[in-house]
Amino acid sequence: MANRIKQLRKENGLTLKELSREVGIPASTISQYENERRKIPGSASKTLSTFFEVPENYILGAWSEKEVLELMSSSLLDNYEKIFEMTSIYAKGYEWMLFEFIDLKNKHELGEYDYEEREVTAENEILSNNYMSLAFSIMRFVYFEGEYDNVLYELERKKHEDAKEVFFQIRRMDLGYKQVKNLVSNLHKKSSSKAKKEYLNDYFRKDIYLKSVLSSLVVQKLMAEKVTAETMALSLVTAVNYESMRIIADHNAAESVKAGDHTNKMLQQIDTLSKRIDELQKENDRLKAELASKR
């Protein structure tokens, strides 16, 4: 990524001469900095960062949070239709399978764990482009979030129906894919690319897990450096995949707590019943003794 001098100068409506006058650096020298024909010394980057009121490493080409969000948004916008189409091509009838079984952290091969050719083909296509990988990771994240957030509500709503576990598993997956379709539907409703990006930026900022992506140590380290968009996209894939796994872990932990609560309630009920049985047994013994004394 290039340094930000030209970007900041234009954002502030300044010509080279005007900026030169403000910071005391010759216009020809600033031009060389902007076009990266000359290395920016520490004194100049400090002067420019003070003038533009931005971190010094940002002057040199570091990433801002806004740019990371824009990279996530643009990657998704450029690829969401293709990925959504792939769910029908490679997993027709079981569209959720693409998100359930493809994990970009662990590349699969034919013959391993019964992965089908269509799944491996889809995975290879996704991995061929860092931006598509990022878009897929985000959609997979949305899938898992929908799967685990909504299934708790659905199970609670159906708790009196005594449905089988298989039914619950299929419903869970359907709910995850429904959330992906909802995201795609919302993007289609937006009339312009700008409106779609604004929707996604707002979505990323509000989501508690996706906000954690920006605070990832790897992402933070790369944001502070001058890295290419492809490198940043690849690091975001890792961070988003991690957050997807955290969703699963958090919900499994919550379910374990609920299971623990359920067990505790059962133990309390057993304890109460045991005490009641003891009381009844004592009463029974008393009545027997009373009856025997009357004979």
Are 122 and 70 in contact by the 8 Å Cβ rule? The answer is no
Residue 160 has pLDDT above 50, yes or no: no
Give the pLDDT of residue 168: 55
Which of 179, 185, 187, 182 lies closest to 78 in space, CA to CA? 187
Q: Report d(CA 257, CA 250) in Å as an integer.
A: 11
Q: Report d(CA 295, CA 191) in Å as an integer.
A: 95
Average pLDDT of the chain?
80
Give the pLDDT of residue 154: 55
Relative orientation angle of helices 65-90 and 208-215, to the nearest 10 degrees: 120
* Percent of the chain's residues with pLDDT above 70: 77
Structure confidence by residue, pLDDT tens digits, 211-268:
888 888 888 888 888 888 888 998 899 889 888 888 777 766 665 555 455 455 555 6
Structure confidence by residue, pLDDT tens digits, 33-63:
989 899 999 999 999 999 998 888 888 888 8
Work out the pLDDT band at 134, boundaries 50, 70, 90.
very high
Q: Report d(CA 141, CA 138) in Å as an integer.
A: 5
Residue 130 has pLDDT above 60, yes or no: yes
